Amino acid sequence: METDEELSVVLELPNDDIFYDKKEKLLQIKGFSPNERIYLRHSSEPGWMSAIVKVLVQIARIIHLNELELYFADDVHSSGEFYSPRNELEALNFIVSLIDTLLSSCKHWHTNVLQELQTTILGLISDFGDKNGMKAIVEKDHFCDQEELLLEWGKSNGVRTQLQIAYVKGAGRGAIAEKDLKVGDIALEIPVSIIISEELVLETDMYNVLKEVDGISSETILLLWSMKEKHNSNSKFKIYFDTLPEKFNTGLSFGIDAITALDGTLLLEEIMQARQHLHDQYDELFPALCTAFPDIFPPKLYTWEHFLWACELWYSNGMKIMFSDGTLKTCLIPIAGFLNHSLCPHIMHYGKVDTAANSLKFRLSRPCRSGEECCLSYGNFSSSYFLTFYGFLPQGDNPYDVIPLDIDSTEDKSMSSSTTHMVRGTWLSNNHNMYYYGLPSPLLDHLRRSRSPMLRTKTYLQGDLENELEILEDLRSIFDKMLDGMDETSLDNREMWSWDEKLAHEYKFQQRRIVSSISTSCLTGVDMAKNELCKCLAEDSLG
Using 50 as the pLDDT threshold, list the residues of the chain that sit under it. Answer: 1-4, 412-416, 418
Q: What is the pTM of this model?
A: 0.92
According to DSSP, the β-strands at 328-332 and 318-322 are antiparallel
Q: Which CATH architecture has domain 139-390?
A: Alpha-Beta Complex (3.90)
Distance of CA 298 to the CA centre of its chain: 39
Neighbours of 203 (CB within 10 A): 9
Q: How far is CA 17 from each of CA 58, 62, 63, 414, rounded to the nearest angstrom? A: 18, 12, 9, 21
The predicted pLDDT at position 343 comes to 95
Q: How would you class 209 by CB atoms within 10 Å of its CB: exposed for 0-12, middle for 13-18, buried for 19 or more?
A: middle
Q: Where are the domains of the chain?
A: 8-132, 139-390, 402-542
CB 323 within 8 Å of CB 175: no
Give 395-448 pLDDT, tens digit per residue. Answer: 999 999 999 998 765 554 444 454 689 999 999 999 999 999 999 999 999 999
Distance CA 205, CA 362 (A): 34
pLDDT for the residue 108: 63
- pLDDT score of 121: 97
Does the domain at residues 8-132 carry the CATH identifier 3.90.1420.10? yes
